[in-house]
Amino acid sequence: MTSRKFMTVFAVVSAAALASGVCSTAAAQPLSLSLLQEQAVTQATSVADALGLASGGYYLENGKAVVNVVDDAGLAKVRAAGLAAKKVKHTFAALTGVKNDLDAVKNVPHTSWGIDTKTNQVVVTIFEGATTAAAKAVTEAAAKHGDSVRVERQAGKLEMHIQDGDRISNGSSICSLGFNVTRGGQPFLLTAGHCTNLGGTWSGGNVSGARIVESDCPGADSGLLTRPNGTGPGQINTGQVITRAANPVVGERIQKQGQTTGGGGGTVTSVNQTVNFDVGVLYHEFGTTAHTDHGDSGGPAYDGSTGLGTLSGGNSTTSYFYPLTLELQNYGLSLA
Do 55 and 68 contact (CB within 8 A), yes or no?
yes
Domain boundaries, the chain: 26-87, 92-154, 159-335
Q: Is 194 a catalytic residue?
A: yes
Phi-psi region at 204: left, alpha or beta (left = phi > 0; alpha = psi -120 to 50): left
User: Given 116, 221, 293, 296, which residue is catalytic?
Assistant: 221
Q: Is 208 a catalytic residue?
A: no
**Which one, of 182, 327, 170, lies nearest residue 247 by Cα?**
327
**Alpha carbon 109 to its chain's center:** 20
Q: Do domains 92-154 and 159-335 have the same CATH topology?
A: no
Q: Is residue 169 classed as helix, strand or coil in its secondary structure?
A: coil
Name which CATH class applies to 92-154: alpha beta
CA–CA distance from 174 to each of 26, 66, 177, 207, 215 (Å)?
A: 27, 40, 10, 14, 16
**Which one, of 319, 323, 330, lies nearest residue 224 by Cα?**
330
CATH tag for 159-335 (out of 3.30.930.10, 1.10.3720.10, 3.50.50.60, 2.40.10.10): 2.40.10.10
Do 47 and 83 contact (CB within 8 A), yes or no?
yes
pTM across the whole model: 0.86
**Which one, of 268, 254, 103, lies nearest residue 112 by Cα?**
103
CB contact burial 104-138 (16+ within 10 A = b; e otherwise): ebeebbbbbbbbbbbebbbbbbbbebbeeebbebb
Q: Residue type at 98?
A: V
Q: Is the peptide bond between 300 and the residue preceding it cis, with omega within 30 degrees of 0?
A: no
For the chain, what percentages of helix, strand and coil (3-state, to nearest 5) are there?
Answer: 25, 35, 40
User: Given 297, 303, 312, 319, which residue is catalytic?
Assistant: 297
d(CA 222, CA 192): 5
**Digitized pLDDT (tens) for each residue of the chain, 336 residues in all:** 333 333 333 332 222 222 222 233 344 455 688 899 999 999 999 999 999 999 999 999 999 999 999 999 999 999 999 999 999 999 999 999 999 999 999 999 999 999 999 999 999 999 999 999 999 999 999 999 999 999 999 999 999 876 543 333 455 788 998 999 999 999 999 999 999 999 999 987 777 899 999 999 999 999 999 988 866 778 888 889 999 999 999 999 999 999 899 999 999 999 999 999 998 999 999 999 999 999 999 999 999 999 999 999 999 899 999 999 999 999 999 998
**Which one, of 68, 32, 7, lies nearest residue 235 by Cα?**
7
d(CA 323, CA 102): 20
The residue count of the chain comes to: 336
User: Given 194, 203, 270, 319, which residue is catalytic?
Assistant: 194
Q: Is 112 a catalytic residue?
A: no
The full DSSP string for 81-96 is TT-EEEE-SS-HHHHH
Do 223 and 211 contact (CB within 8 A), yes or no?
no
